[in-house]
């Protein structure tokens, strides 16, 4: 196997900064190619070399040392691996910069990243294509709250965050105002989704460019009210069932729906696709995540491990896909 030189970029603004650094630790430990790290601090400045290593060890970088653009010899790297969860990394910002530099990078391009990051726009595209999604209403800051076409419970979400940041489960209309305030603290656009009680949460990993493979389908179970930030990233809070105990025909349907959504949205490299299965057997596509987690508790590498692709081999495949695109 020829060895390639990789630049891993992690960190980013508040919200999912610490999760990104946890993912970076996982990737650096398993990456089969020589890899250097750059960390974007919460203040937007960059940490390089020893500065980045110190940030990784601390699990956070509040302040960086280098303004954008950082003094990086971009052409000395074969592939850049953006591993920022949330803003700047999943919304297409960093991808656009790498496109201008002409550097190959792991994962989705600018348009797909932006569509998948914006839950409202992504759901509109999926719905128009006939892919089932949970009913929702979009609300922007300072707009009056409309009459909701579905009863509680609701999930109130910022349109452009991940890792369940800013999300609330609301059981009555009286609980909506504080939930909206919480969501609007993260974004100027918010979704109010219909809450489907008793759902099973199913996930599948995708890998590929024009030809895309699907992993086995997994299921997440937990005791919390919903799959919130603490449950996602605290070891032992959630249980991963690999593969999920579902009918094989349903598993195939989930894989095909995920692949269809990936192609529709312009996916590249990788994605984790999340589904809800209602007690009545209704299947909803919840989200397509273009930079899934690589932390010790993250589902994406575990889905592929259960499918016969070990963590180092998965990372090598992602790097090779970046060079193909």
Provide CB contacts within 8 A for 298, sequence distance 6+. Answer: 23, 26, 292
State residue 278's pLDDT score.
95
List 77, 105, 227, 233, catalytic entry: 233
Dump pLDDT digits (tens) for 102-137.
999 999 999 999 999 999 999 999 999 999 999 999
Q: CB count, 10 Å around CB of 80?
A: 24
List 20, 168, 286, 289, catalytic entry: 289
Pick the CATH number of 136-194 from 3.10.400.10, 3.40.1410.10, 3.40.50.740, 3.30.1490.20: 3.30.1490.20
State residue 295's pLDDT score.
85
CA distance 319 to 321: 5
Cis geometry, peptide bond prior to residue 325 (ω within 30 degrees of 0): no
CATH topology assigned to domain 115-131+197-324: D-amino Acid Aminotransferase; Chain A, domain 1 (3.30.470)
Dump pLDDT digits (tens) for 27-84.
999 999 999 999 999 999 999 999 999 999 999 999 999 999 999 999 999 999 999 9
CATH topology assigned to domain 6-105: Rossmann fold (3.40.50)
State residue 92's pLDDT score.
95
pTM: 0.92
Alpha helices in the chain (DSSP H): 17-30, 50-58, 93-101, 110-117, 119-128, 176-184, 229-233, 248-265, 299-306, 311-324
The SS3 call for residue 214 is strand
CA distance 89 to 19: 12
List 118, 193, 274, 316, catalytic entry: 274
State residue 43's pLDDT score.
97
List 272, 286, 307, 311, catalytic entry: 272
Active site residue 274: yes
Provide CB contacts within 8 A for 197, sequence distance 6+. Answer: 153, 279
Low-confidence ranges of the chain (pLDDT < 50): none
Domain range summary for the chain, segments of one domain joined by +:
6-105, 115-131+197-324, 136-194
Active site residue 320: no
Active site residue 233: yes
């Amino acid at each position: 196997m020829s060895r390639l030189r990789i630049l891993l970029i992690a960190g980013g603004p508040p919200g999912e900064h610490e999760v990104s650094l946890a993912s970076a630790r996982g990737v650096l430990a398993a990456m089969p190619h020589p890899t250097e790290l750059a960390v974007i601090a919460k203040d937007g400045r960059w940490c390089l070399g020893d500065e980045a290593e110190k940030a990784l060890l601390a699990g956070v970088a509040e302040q960086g040392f280098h303004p954008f653009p950082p003094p990086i010899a971009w052409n000395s790297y074969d592939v850049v691996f953006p591993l920022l969860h949330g803003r700047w990394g999943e919304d297409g910002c960093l991808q656009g910069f790498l496109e201008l530099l002409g550097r190959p990078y792991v994962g989705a391009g600018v348009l797909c990243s932006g569509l998948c990051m914006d839950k409202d726009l992504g759901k509109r595209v999926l719905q128009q294509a006939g892919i089932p999604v949970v009913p929702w209403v979009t609300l922007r800051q300072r707009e009056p709250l409309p009459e909701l076409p579905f009863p509680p419970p609701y999930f109130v979400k910022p349109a452009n965050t991940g890792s369940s940041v800013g999300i609330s489960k609301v059981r009555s209309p009286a609980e909506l105002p504080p939930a909206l305030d919480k969501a609007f603290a993260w974004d100027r656009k918010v979704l109010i989704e219909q809450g489907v009680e008793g759902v099973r949460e199913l996930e599948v990993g995708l890998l590929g460019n024009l030809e895309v493979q699907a992993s086995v389908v997994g299921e997440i179970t937990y005791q919390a009210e919903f799959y919130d930030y603490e449950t996602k990233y605290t070891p032992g809070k959630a249980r991963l069932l690999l593969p999920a105990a579902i009918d094989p025909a349903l598993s195939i349907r989930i894989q095909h729906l995920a692949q269809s959504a990936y192609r529709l949205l312009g996916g590249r490299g990788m994605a984790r696709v999340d589904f809800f299965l209602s007690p009545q057997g209704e299947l909803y596509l919840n989200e397509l995540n273009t930079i899934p987690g690589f932390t010790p508790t993250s589902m994406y590498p575990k889905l592929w491990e259960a499918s016969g692709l070990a963590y180092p081999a998965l990372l090598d495949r992602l790097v090779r896909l970046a060079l193909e695109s």
